[in-house]
Amino acid sequence: MLITTWVIVGVVAGVSGVLIGYLSLRQARATVEDCRRRLARQTSESAGDLRAIRDVAVCRYDALEEMTGRLSFSVAMINGLGDGIVLTSINGQSETRTYVRPVVGGKGQQPLSPEEEEAVRAARLGLGPMIAPRAPRMGMM
C-alpha cells in the first residue's frame, strides 16, 4: 500500500514537471520570436532619424462593465529607439479619463496596464495600427 502511494505521488510529480516545462518552453519561444521580430525591424530600417515617431499601435477594449463597444483605447507612439508615449482614454457613461505615460527603451516609466503594454509591444513589432487586446478585462482604475 505504501509503495503504491509513492508510485502515484511520483507519477503525479513527473507529469506536473513535464507540464510546467512545456508551458515554460512555449513562453520562452514566444519571447524569442518577439525579440527576433524587433531585431529584424531595427536592422532593416533605413538611415532615417531614429528619434522620429515611426511606430503607432491602437488597442481598443472595454475598460468598464457599464460600457461596451470597445470605446476605451490605448495608443502607443514610439520612435526607433523605443522612446515615446502611451495615450489612454477610459470611457464611461458619465465621464472620460485620459492618461499619458512615458515610454523609454520600450518600457513604461510608470506602471502600464496590460492594454498599454500590448499597444507598446505591437508598436515595437510593427503589427499595424489596430490591434485587439490579448485578454478581455473588466473594471479598470
pTM above 0.85, yes or no: no
Q: Are residues 68 and 127 in the same domain?
A: yes
User: What cell was used for 39?
Assistant: 531585431
Q: Which range of residues forms the domain containing residue 2?
A: 1-44
Tens-place pLDDT, residues 109-120: 889 999 999 999
Cβ-Cβ contacts under 8 Å for 38 (sequence gap 6 or more): 124, 125
- d(Cα 77, Cα 70) in Å, to the nearest integer? 20
Both 101 and 63 in a single domain? Answer: yes
Q: Is residue 24 part of a domain?
A: yes
Average pLDDT over residues 129-139: 61
The span from the CA of 91 to the CA of 71, in Å, is 6
| Number of domains composing the chain | 2
Span 35-94, pLDDT tens digits: 888 777 666 655 567 778 888 999 999 888 777 788 899 999 998 888 999 999 998 888
Q: How many residues does the chain have?
A: 141
Which grid coordinates belong to 98? Answer: 485620459
